[in-house]
Chain A
Amino acid sequence: MVGRLRAVRLADVFGVVLLFVLLIAAAAPGLVARRDPYEIEPSAAFQAPSTLHWFGTDESGRDTFSRVVHGTQSSVLIGIAAMAIGLGLAAALGTLSGLGGRLADYAVGRLLEVLFSVPVLLVALLAIAVLGAGVVPSAAAVGIAVAPGYARIVRSQIISARASGYVEAAVVLGRSRGVVLRRHILPNVTARLFALATLGVGQAVVWACSLSFLGLGVVPPNTEWGAMLAAGRPYLTNAWWLTVFPGAFIVFTAVTLTLLGRTLQQRNRER
């Protein structure tokens, strides 16, 4: 039991430290990487990692370390935007389904069933086909694609909150529907959604980077991890650093947010 507690705390500390590193890289990339991520230097192309260029240089001699650090901002922001869109849609659908009565619940349920039959990335590609390629469309596409999964979770949490003892007590005490919803159901659901959103941002970063890798989101030479990986793919055999480092940062981000989301979920459960 003691070991379990200590393990949780260690993961917490680890998660917070990683998040701190991530936030600094996103908020003030210039502090961490002093070189200009767009400055080309053709004579220094394809330099392997060294003390001068920690992560090496790309085909135009741009500093990969600087580009990866500066890429944090766009990659993480797109992930957060996608998650916000997805969660917003999910909250609307889930609330409608959980509180809108039987007919609404049935309609939303069928709609979700339909959306589930098309894989996430295919939904995102459909959205891209309509919205066009680019930064904002790719965030929207990821949001739309992940929304059904979250809508289902929101719905089940609203229903379980509605069936809980404290809501029943509030109803018995004669509280109005609006008060019960505002004071008892929504706070309970939002705390859980916050944990879920933290977990989801990591996933959204991975999806958005996948779209950029396919050439549908951020395009090279802009600094975004998926776009950097797409640009580095042709040189995989001779310049491994162009692929290893941006990808490692995607994994690093997703792991950080996953650990943090797990911790928040654990807290919710203990409360």
Chain B
Amino acid sequence: MSRLALRVLGAVFVLWAVVTLTFFGTQAIPGDPAEAVLGGPGSRSTAAQLAQIRAQYGFDRPLWVRYLDELRHLAQGDLGVSYALKTPVTTLVGQTIGATLTLAGLSLVVAWAVAVVVAVAATRESRIGAALASLLEITAVAVPHFWLGSMLILVFSVGLGWLPPISTPGVAGLVLPVLSLALPLAGFLGQLMRESFLAALDAPFTLSARARGESETRVRLVHALRHAALPAISLSGWAFGSLISGAVVVEALFARPGLGRTLLSAVLAGDAPVITGVVLVVATVYLVLTVVTEAADRLADPRLRSASGQRAGAPAW
């Protein structure tokens, strides 16, 4: 239990550092925040209006006072009020986080499904399997999410007319955004799982399972797959991060509401509270996922339970 407590403490430290970095980062945004509140440089606000906003929002207080104030508010779960929309950031995030997490979650599921199929189908002899795996891998590193999404729109919306070209509420509107996010990730995970799957097929425990007379299907699906899944499970936190990066672009492409678009418009408007809020929420989800996957790793791999984190130095099998 103390290990978990330590991990949670570490996560809290990381969150504090993230808040600190974003706070001082957003302080460095050029331009007057009071002007951002009044609608940007184009609003032609008067000096009196600016002074009033400064007093109202506390922009005139010293930096360190505002920093401590920010920390106090965040600790109480108060993310502040958007400069541009005058809505509480918690409300804004609450309205959009569901859409983004649905998108990211479904993409993760689809990516895993594709990756598992690629891995389980792998044999050392199969050239087609190897070619397919490299093709997926190239897709993962070389195809931008927004272009993959555009190609999917061209084929399935413009060409075949099966699915809507922009994201509509409901399942049909989710298919293309999910695919544009899932396929590149599937490339990464598939390649990773394929390699460890092939290694697992040569491992002693596979041999002993075969010697016990277990069927090839059982050897592949139960013994080898479990081992192939391990490195991919450990990467879940990273996978989530890459899905969020992708979601910013995919939400823009499909005109889909979500955290990514909220953040994008906040960046364009210099809306510091929204920027801080979204970054903080994303970092929190990432950290929760990391702690959970570490626990899942322990469940899937008995060797980790006794070892004191000496994974890197341990022999592969």
Once the chains bind, are B146 and A119 in contact (CB under 8 Å)?
no
A156 (CB) vs chain B CBs: closest residue? B312
Q: Is A120 located at the chain interface by the 8 A CB criterion?
A: yes
Once the chains bind, are A202 and B158 in contact (CB under 8 Å)?
no
Question: What are the interface flags for A118-146 relative to B under an 8 Å C-beta threshold, 1 for contact and 0 otherwise?
Answer: 11111001101110110000000000000
Once the chains bind, are A117 and B283 in contact (CB under 8 Å)?
yes
Q: Is B275 located at the chain interface by the 8 A CB criterion?
A: yes
Known: A122-B282, A126-B25, A213-B146. A117 touches B18 (CB 8 A): yes
A133 (CB) vs chain B CBs: closest residue? B268
Q: Is A38 located at the chain interface by the 8 A CB criterion?
A: no
**Most-contacted residue by chain B among A129, A214, A233, A237 (CB, 10 A):** A129
B158 (CB) vs chain A CBs: closest residue? A237
Q: Is B296 located at the chain interface by the 8 A CB criterion?
A: no
Mark the stretch among A58-66, A85-93, A249-257, A263-271 that contacts chain B: A249-257
> Which residues of chain B from 1 to 51 have any CB-CB distance to chain A below 8 Å in the complex?
13-15, 17-18, 21-22, 25-26, 28-30
B263 contacts which of A113, A125, A229 (Cβ < 8 Å)? A125
Chain B positions within 8 Å of A210 at CB level: 144-146, 249
A233 contacts which of B143, B253, B266 (Cβ < 8 Å)? B253
Once the chains bind, are A122 and B29 in contact (CB under 8 Å)?
no
**Most-contacted residue by chain A among B18, B248, B266, B270 (CB, 10 A):** B248
> Which residues of chain B from 243 to 273 have any CB-CB distance to chain A below 8 Å in the complex?
244-246, 248-249, 252-253, 263-264, 266-268, 270
Q: Is A243 located at the chain interface by the 8 A CB criterion?
A: yes
A203 (CB) vs chain B CBs: closest residue? B141
Q: Is B112 located at the chain interface by the 8 A CB criterion?
A: no
In whole angstroms, how far apart are the Cα atoms of A243 and B151 in the complex? Answer: 8
Once the chains bind, are A119 and B150 in contact (CB under 8 Å)?
no
B251 to chain A, nearest CB (A): 10
> Which residues of chain A from 44 to 61 have any CB-CB distance to chain B below 8 Å in the complex?
none
Question: What are the interface flags for A79-120 relative to B under an 8 Å C-beta threshold, 1 for contact and 0 otherwise?
Answer: 000000000000000000000000000000011011011111
A232 (CB) vs chain B CBs: closest residue? B150
Once the chains bind, are A251 and B143 in contact (CB under 8 Å)?
yes
Q: Is B277 located at the chain interface by the 8 A CB criterion?
A: no
Known: A125-B263, A129-B267, A236-B165. A119 touches B245 (CB 8 A): yes
Once the chains bind, are B279 and A126 in contact (CB under 8 Å)?
yes
Chain A positions within 8 Å of B151 at CB level: 243-244, 247
In whole angstroms, how far apart are the Cα atoms of A146 and B28 in the complex? Answer: 21
Once the chains bind, are A122 and B279 in contact (CB under 8 Å)?
yes
A93 to chain B, nearest CB (A): 15
A100 to chain B, nearest CB (A): 20
In whole angstroms, how far apart are the Cα atoms of A244 and B263 in the complex? Answer: 28
Interface residue SS majority, chain A = helix
A199 (CB) vs chain B CBs: closest residue? B141
Once the chains bind, are B286 and A121 in contact (CB under 8 Å)?
no
B286 (CB) vs chain A CBs: closest residue? A117
Chain A positions within 8 Å of B21 at CB level: 114
Chain A positions within 8 Å of B145 at CB level: 210
In whole angstroms, how far apart are the Cα atoms of A117 and B28 in the complex? Answer: 21
Q: Is A196 located at the chain interface by the 8 A CB criterion?
A: no
In whole angstroms, how far apart are the Cα atoms of A250 and B144 in the complex? Answer: 8
Q: Is A206 located at the chain interface by the 8 A CB criterion?
A: yes
Chain B positions within 8 Å of A214 at CB level: 248-249, 252, 264
Q: Is B242 located at the chain interface by the 8 A CB criterion?
A: yes
A residues adjacent to B (C-beta < 8 A):
110-111, 113-114, 116-122, 125-126, 128-130, 132-133, 202-203, 206, 209-210, 213-216, 229, 233, 236-237, 240, 243-244, 247, 250-251, 254-255, 258
B residues adjacent to A (C-beta < 8 A):
13-15, 17-18, 21-22, 25-26, 28-30, 138, 141-147, 150-151, 153-154, 157-158, 165, 238, 241-242, 244-246, 248-249, 252-253, 263-264, 266-268, 270, 275, 278-279, 282-283, 286-287
**Lowest 10 A-B CB distances belong to which pairs?**
A254-B142, A121-B245, A247-B147, A119-B241, A114-B17, A119-B245, A117-B283, A119-B244, A129-B267, A130-B28
Query: Would you list 27 pairs from A and B whose C-beta atoms are within 8 A, ordered by A residue?
Result: A110-B13, A111-B17, A114-B21, A117-B15, A117-B283, A118-B286, A122-B279, A129-B26, A129-B29, A130-B29, A130-B30, A133-B268, A202-B141, A203-B141, A206-B142, A213-B146, A213-B252, A216-B268, A233-B150, A236-B150, A237-B157, A243-B150, A247-B150, A250-B142, A250-B144, A254-B143, A258-B142
Additional A-B contacts beyond A117-B14, A126-B22 (9; CB < 8 A) = A110-B13, A117-B241, A118-B241, A125-B264, A203-B141, A214-B249, A236-B158, A247-B150, A258-B138
